Amino acid sequence: MRTRPTLSWTPPADLPPGTTDVEPVADALSTGGVLVLSGAGISTESGIPDYRGEGGSLSRHTPMTYQDFTGSTRARRRYWARSHLGWRTFGRARPNSGHRAVAAFGRRGLLTGVITQNVDGLHREAGSEGVVELHGGLDRVVCLTCGDLSARRELARRLEEANPGFEPVAAGINPDGDADLTDEQVGDFHVVPCTVCGGILKPDVVFFGETVPPQRVEHCRALVRAAESLLVLGSSLTVMSGLRFVRQAADAGKPVLIVNRDPTRGDRHAVTRVALPLGTALTTVAGRLGVPVDDRSAT
């Protein structure tokens, strides 16, 4: 069953306040067994905006839903025009200090795993291993007819050839790699089919209104069961796809720690919320633990 997308959440006035004290996070990491759950906020310092934070893209942009994409040729043309342009910027984004700190914690053996709600691949690029990309990855494309998987860079090449001179100026880029274009700028953008069967191509990501594959959800639930604590990084937890793991950890009596500047839907389940930028908070924690943060991925 597909559900309607949850695009907004209004924090109640009685949520516990955030803190700037990173000591609880350092304490949890020092004992190991930490599972990381990251959201769009960890990638903002890489130039990718988040959905719901200050200046978040939902204030100007409604993400494509699975139902619109599969049900409308016009919607697919609009999506691929915007996504093709956005990929030129999105694909050049590089890991920031937050991603590199998470990778460093993993190399030190302090983490049991990393689950990310992001589709940018920056945890992998920073060196984290075994990352579960809950919502998939924009660097892959899947055919909805035959299931063939292919590289996004190959689709980008084909779209360039099919749309010579397509150089509109976008008003901005969104966390899903979708650039802000008007209908006039989209024009008669030409969408290319699957090279195997001629079917409809879709980025290998979970759209709003689409469900995460059940086996992926169960894998994440197993990671929560195996962890000693859950560390949420840069997620408002507005959508259930991430919030359910917070609730699972809290119900099992496992500490939930959140690093996010704004209140989140999971604050009531957390022992603390650190209201600091991710890069600042995580590099401070790494320094306190004596964990060197490799910066080679930034170059």
Q: Is 39 annotated as a binding residue?
A: yes
DSSP 246-284: HHHHHHTT--EEEE-SS--TTGGG-SEEE-S-HHHHHHH
Catalytic residue among 84, 99, 135, 269: 135
What angle, rounded to 10 degrees, do the helices at 278-289 and 97-107 form? Answer: 30
Q: Is 138 annotated as a binding residue?
A: no
Rounded to whole angstroms, the Cα distance separating 51 from 39 reads 10
Structure tokens at 75: 């919607």
Q: Is 46 annotated as a binding residue?
A: yes
Q: Is 113 annotated as a binding residue?
A: no
Q: Is 59 annotated as a binding residue?
A: yes
190 catalytically annotated: no
Q: Is 176 annotated as a binding residue?
A: no
CA angle at residue 61 from 57 to 67, to 5 degrees? 125
Q: Is 119 annotated as a binding residue?
A: yes
Rounded to whole angstroms, the Cα distance separating 12 from 9 reads 9
Q: Is 55 annotated as a binding residue?
A: yes
Structure tokens at 122: 């920056």
Q: Is 117 annotated as a binding residue?
A: yes
Binding site residues, as ranges? 39-59, 117-120, 143, 146, 194, 197, 234-236, 278
Which residues are catalytic, by number? 135
Which residues participate in the annotated binding site for Zn(2+)?
143, 146, 194, 197
